[in-house]
Amino acid sequence: MADYIVGDIQGCYKGLKKLLTKLKFNPQTDHLYAVGDLVARGEDSLSVLQYCHDLGEHFHSVLGNHDLHLLAISAEIRAPKPSDKLQKLLSYAQRDTLFGWLRHMPLAMHYQQHTLICHAGLYPAWSLCDAIEFSKEIEHVLQQPNYELFLQNMYGNTPNVWMPGLKGTERQRFIVNAFTRMRYLENQGGMNFTCKAPPSQAPHNLRPWFQFYNPYLLNKRVVFGHWASLQGQTHSAQFVGLDTGYVWGNRLTAFDLQEHNLISIKAT
């Protein structure tokens, strides 16, 4: 039995199957985790969701920004982006089954208590326990009959600094943005959503979120995706970046949770 976490699949079904073949993934005994962004720019988001859904209890994922945007599209709150290839999925007769399944996914999850899995990262003022509790807040609203109201209000860049007293829509938006959109923070802890470049090309007033001191992370690990230009280069075993840009012609990467090594395949 083996446990793997895969980086941003982005609807690249052929790439996912190729990586699983390299891993010798056994869907009866192994478990596959994902850092979110299951869908979007790849050739077959429908097949990705169907395959992962059919793995049942052997598949676990957090939500990424593209997954949340898909839910907003399904609720007719937003239109598909021109770069997304979602028509096959949106035309699927049983799409509501898959969308309902997505709505029950968290924004963050534990793996054996010492590892946190999330899409974009862990805001430096939060512990792993905080992350799970904040994720549960969003899980709760996504599973309510009026979840569309949450999706309408989740878009926006403010507030960008965490304050424990945040309430309502502002609190929910900050939690979503921290888990699904964060890359850089300004010196005072404000999230910057403009810069997507690798750290070597970023303005001097910005630092990756994982370079900020977090007193709660002793002997803990954070596994994340979202940041293709980073190419997984955090220079720390404590922070494992798995978005290596397969959909952009680079690599699709998995992390073996027991052997603690990375396995990749190249885009062809």
What's the CA gap between 213 and 100, in Å, rounded?
A: 37
How many beta carbons lie within 10 A of that of residue 18, not counting itself?
17
User: Considering only the top CATH level, what class is 3-266?
Assistant: alpha beta
Report whether pLDDT(113) > 90.
no
For residues 174, 177, 178 and 183, what is the CA-based torsion angle, rounded to 10 degrees?
Answer: -140
Q: How does the average pLDDT of the chain come out, rounded?
A: 97
Percentage, residues of the chain above pLDDT 90:
97
Are the CB atoms for 172 and 134 separated by under 8 Å?
no
pLDDT in tens, 114-161: 999 999 999 999 999 999 999 999 999 999 999 999 999 999 999 999
Model confidence over 241-264: pLDDT tens digits? 999 999 999 999 999 999 999 999
Counting residues of the chain whose pLDDT is more than 70, the rounded percentage is 100
Phi then psi dihedrals of residue 205, to 5 deg:
-85, 5
Q: Per-residue pLDDT for 268 more than 90?
A: no
The C-alpha atoms of residue 249 and residue 67 are separated, in whole angstroms, by 21
* Statement: residue 18 has pLDDT above 90: yes
Q: Decide: pTM greater than 0.95.
A: yes
Q: What separation in angstroms does the CA of 91 have from each of 224, 232, 258?
A: 30, 34, 39
pLDDT of residue 142: 98
The pLDDT score that the predictor gives to residue 225 is 98
pLDDT at residue 81 is higher than 90: no
Band of the pLDDT at 82, cuts 50, 70, 90?
A: confident
* Residue 58 token pair: 């052997």
State pLDDT tens for residues 178-237: 999 999 999 889 999 999 999 999 999 999 999 999 999 999 999 999 999 999 999 999
Q: What is the pLDDT of residue 140?
A: 98
